[in-house]
A and B are shown apart, each in its own frame.
Chain A
Amino acid sequence: MASNKRVKGLIVSRPIYYGNIATPITGKKPANPDHTHRWTVMVKGLNNEDLSYYIRKVVFKLHETYPNPLRSIEQPPFELTETGWGEFEIMIKIHFQPITSEKPVTLYHHLRLHPFEDDLQGQPWPKDKPVLSLLYDELVFNEPTEAFREVLVKNNAMQPNLPTKKPASKDPSTPEFSEQLEKEELERLDNAQKEVNAEIIRLKQRMAALDNE
């Protein structure tokens, strides 16, 4: 029986992504101004991973104007579909399985219904295209318990296991998060860092020159 002792010095991070997809409701019936969009808010793992081995439930707290704003999803897939007209902040509280002995974590997500940028071709967003707002994040477990560690090993979850390449299709069901995307971001950060360093050096040179006068 694995104990609740913590494994010293071990850090395991699990990647997840969360956010929403929204589609405008178009129908033959007259449009209800209070329900112009159907949206789904979700917490998912990469590679369609089943998160239930460490997530017990996800509670989505919606705007007060929704009846029973606290929606608890206790089985995978941890997502919730609703209809509405307005964008608001959803509080997402992730509760972990008891075997992890971890306290719940809270995330906040701004529900996006309206397209906020043009389509990649520069044309206005087509009316039927769903609006996506998905954010990548990592749940970092510092010194997990031995019991939890065993669970992780069993589910091959000791390493983040990001997909290597970005998905080929622009299908909303598979987001872009991958090693490739990470590398691109690292490159961008490096470039920015170099620019800033160069600017700092330039400024210091100029100050040195001025001081010498």
Chain B
Amino acid sequence: MTEQVASAGKRLDKDLYSMIGGAPPISFVNPSLKSTVDKPRQWSHKPFLHPSRGDALILKHWVRDDQQAEDDDYHFSKFNRIIDVISYTDDDYEKYLTDTDWSKEETDYLFKICRQYDLRFPVIFDRYNYNASTRTLEDMKDRYYSVNRKLIKVRGGLTDDDLYDSRLDRQTLLQYYAFDKNKEADRKQGLLRLYQRTKEQLEEEELLFLEARRMEENKEALTTQRELLYSTLHLEQAQQIPATPLTPLTGSYAGRSNSNSATTASSSHHLPTPTSANATPTASVASNNASMSSPGGIGITGGMSSAAEKQKKRKDKEDILKKARRISTSSPVEELLPPLPDKKEKLIPGVYVRSQKLPGVKTTMQTRVIRTMSDLGIGARPTMPTKDVCYKYDHLQNTVVTLLEIRKVAEKLNLDHRMPDKTSPGPSSVGRKHGLPGGNRGGSSAAGSGDQRRRKLGQ
């Protein structure tokens, strides 16, 4: 009966095994209490020799008879790794290795211990016992490595007990044995300090780190805003005097700019100079207008529109001048934009399609710029890309980019103004912290706001 059950069990197991792919999960295997071996086996108590021992001590151990006879060395002898510590003769010592701090005896003792403890310096340091000398671990390492370096220099790459790999050149070997005692000592001190930091110190460090990072981020925001403001003011200045090769070099224009450069940075000159400069060069302005006006219609359109245009544009320019900080009083007189030059300074010979040379906008801003332009009634491409149209179109595009950037900054200002930051103590300081750099304002307020800002950031 039991046999049948046993055999049925075995057959079941086989089916299960095939289902699971042969490897039984542990839970399914019932541990069998039967032993796999039926017959008792023979063991013999054999003597053996341990090759790593210096003496000829013979020990005995049990070996199973049907296992392979061990002709090789004792199994565990391979774990006896021997580190090669260099050896030197007394002659070598006298010639190269003498040292004021270390006697020959002590050096010999050090090397003996190194050999004994397999260059494990912590152990060596612990076991070191030479006439009560107080050597630190670094001292011992230093002595060991310097001896090695000197010997390398002397013996070069020559094999000495195959100690130094002859394939390596002397330089590399020297690098292997480089050791700077002071640096090592400092390093260990540093590690110790790091390891022993208290919990409070750790927290403090964390806080400082966060603070520093926040300051860094703020700094970037501030610099970008500063640059934005510079660029907008530059653009306005560019409307007045473009510094590009397109700068018209007509004599009257150049003359006026020279005379007025001396009177910059004083706001009182704003209003009088435009009007006075207006009166003078009407003749040259008219001629400029004439030359730049639409080709083919020199007399007609130039004459008709110049007066009306000038009037309208002069008024606009005065408005803008009142707001702009930079003064350049010469060109705003004439046009909203300076007249186009008759000659370019650098011409690349060749032919091109005018509309293809319209400098485009950055792809990131493209869609927004196009949308803004269409709101203003301007399409993505000028209908009639003539020289004048292209010039104005490009200028308009640039101004729109500036506008969008200023809008972004204004939005942020607005937001910060309405919702003060949690870390800063109130709306006024928020304005200061995130506000546009006060550096470009009139001279009086610059110092005050700058200091305040610096104080806030320095917290």
Contact = CB atoms under 8 A, between A and B. Distances in A.
B354 A13 contact: yes
B377 A192 contact: yes
B349 A143 contact: yes
B237 to A, nearest CB: 13
Contacts of B395: 193
Q: How large is the interface on B (under 10, 10 to 19, 20 to 34, 35 or more residues)?
A: 35 or more
Interface string A11-31: 101010000000000000000
A11 B377 CA distance: 31
Contacts of B320: 197, 201
B232 interface: yes
A189 B393 contact: yes
A191 to B, nearest CB: 8
A51 B452 CA distance: 69
A107 B385 CA distance: 14
Interface stretch (A34-42, A59-67, A117-125, A177-185): A177-185
Interface stretch (A68-76, A78-86, A202-210): A202-210
Given A181-B383, A207-B410, A196 B294 contact: no
Contact of A9 (B294, B295, B347, B417): B347
B351 A205 contact: no
Contact of B351 (A105, A195, A206): A105
Interface in B368-424: 373, 376-378, 381-389, 392-393, 395-396, 399-400, 402-403, 406-407, 409-410, 413-414, 417
Contacts of A186: 388-389, 392
Candidate in B350, B395, B435 with the most chain A CB atoms within 10 angstroms: B350
A102 B296 contact: no
B329 to A, nearest CB: 18
A89 interface: no
Given A196-B399, A210-B417, 8 more contacts: A107-B356, A135-B355, A138-B355, A182-B389, A188-B378, A189-B389, A193-B396, A206-B410
15 contacts: A6-B349, A102-B350, A136-B383, A137-B355, A139-B353, A142-B347, A142-B350, A160-B295, A161-B296, A182-B384, A183-B305, A195-B376, A196-B400, A203-B407, A205-B323
